[in-house]
Structures are given as C-alpha cells and as structure tokens.
C-alpha cells in the first residue's frame, strides 16, 4: 500500500477509515466545518513537521473548511474529488467516505500547493473566451475543467482565483478546454 508522507486533513471518522483503506497515512479530523483553534494549531504543527494535504468533501461545508485552513495555515496542499467520485450508491450526501480507493489515490497524487504570490495571470477575458464564466454551458464546462485539472468545482467567481492560487498557466487552461470542446463535439 502506498505511503503518504504528509498528514491528511479530513472532516470525520468515516473519511479517516476510507483513507486508511486506500493508502497508508495519518489523518487529522476537523469534526465538521466549525474548526476550533486547537485543531488549527494541530494542523499548523503538522504543516511544519510533515506537510498537510487538505482533503474535504466536494460540497459547501468542505469548501468552508478548506478556506478556513488555508487562511490559518498558508502553504498547505489541496486534494479534490469530483462530485461523481464522492457520490454514494443510492441516497445520501457527498463524501470522501463514498469514494473508491482508486479515486482517493488519484486525488492525493494530484494534490496542489496553494501559492500566495501569484505569478500566473489568468485573465477574465481568457475565461470568457473559453466559455467558462458566461453562457449556457459555462457551469458544465467549469465542472469538466475542474475534473480535468483536478482542482474541484468552482463557481464563476471562484474559478479565476483557484486557477491562479494553484499556479495553473493560461496554456494549461487552453489545452484542457480544447480537449473538453473536442469531447463535446464528438458527442454531438
């Protein structure tokens, strides 16, 4: 089983169980979106000693946790699952605990480090030209882009910031969108 050096921050006990079924790793559980100061201190200590990968559910509470940790502990890595990968069979809420071990390993392998000094410039015009922020298919294209680049789903306002935060170049966005548009054309 693959061993992960960094400590993985997850939301709860079921996520920890699923991580342990997928990789050999240590976890810190936030126990929901109301992260207390003690947990943030523990995450900061983990970042100093071994590094941290924030791996939360692809939903609003998961995104809230991710933002809280990023503000308190700069430089952490982020791993993302798509909503499809995190869907339970049948009914229920999205969660890491529902993902396959393969999806978890893939997401952890493609984790991004958040960068505060943003060298990459993703312009609003680029996003408009790519059909990612205006138009009938913009939401669907953002979903596909998030899957292809492994950055999770974002709304139109968040997309530019997330692309820059993970230093994804304009060329990477253009190439990913070309593949997405080719796939759309192949289906029609």
For 182, residues 6+ apart whose C-beta sits below 8 A from its C-beta are none
* Tens-level pLDDT at each residue, the chain (188 residues): 899 999 999 999 999 999 999 999 999 999 888 899 999 999 999 999 999 999 999 988 998 999 899 989 988 999 999 888 998 877 678 899 999 999 999 999 989 887 665 566 888 899 999 999 988 889 999 999 998 998 888 888 889 988 988 888 899 999 999 998 888 888 76
d(C-alpha 64, C-alpha 32), whole Å: 10
Fold (CATH) for 7-113: Dna Topoisomerase Vi A Subunit; Chain: A, domain 2 (3.40.1360)
So where are the chain's domains?
Answer: 7-113, 124-187
């Amino acid at each position: 089983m693959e061993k992960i050096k960094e400590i993985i921050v997850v939301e709860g006990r079921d996520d920890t169980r699923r991580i342990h079924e997928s990789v050999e790793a240590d976890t810190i559980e936030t126990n929901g979106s109301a992260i207390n100061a003690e947990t943030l201190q523990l995450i900061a200590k983990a970042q100093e000693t071994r590094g941290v990968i924030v791996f939360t559910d692809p939903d609003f509470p998961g995104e809230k946790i991710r933002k809280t940790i990023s503000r308190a502990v700069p430089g952490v890595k982020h791993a993302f699952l798509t909503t499809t990968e995190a869907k339970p069979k049948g009914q229920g809420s999205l969660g890491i605990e529902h993902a396959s071990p393969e999806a978890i390993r893939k997401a952890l392998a493609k984790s991004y480090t958040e960068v505060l000094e943003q060298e990459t410039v993703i312009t609003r015009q680029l996003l408009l030209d790519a059909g990612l922020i205006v138009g009938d298919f913009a939401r669907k294209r953002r979903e596909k882009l998030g899957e292809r680049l492994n950055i999770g789903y974002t709304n139109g306002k968040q997309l530019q910031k997330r692309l820059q935060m993970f230093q994804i170049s304009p060329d990477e966005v253009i190439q990913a969108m070309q593949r997405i548009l080719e796939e759309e054309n192949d289906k029609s």
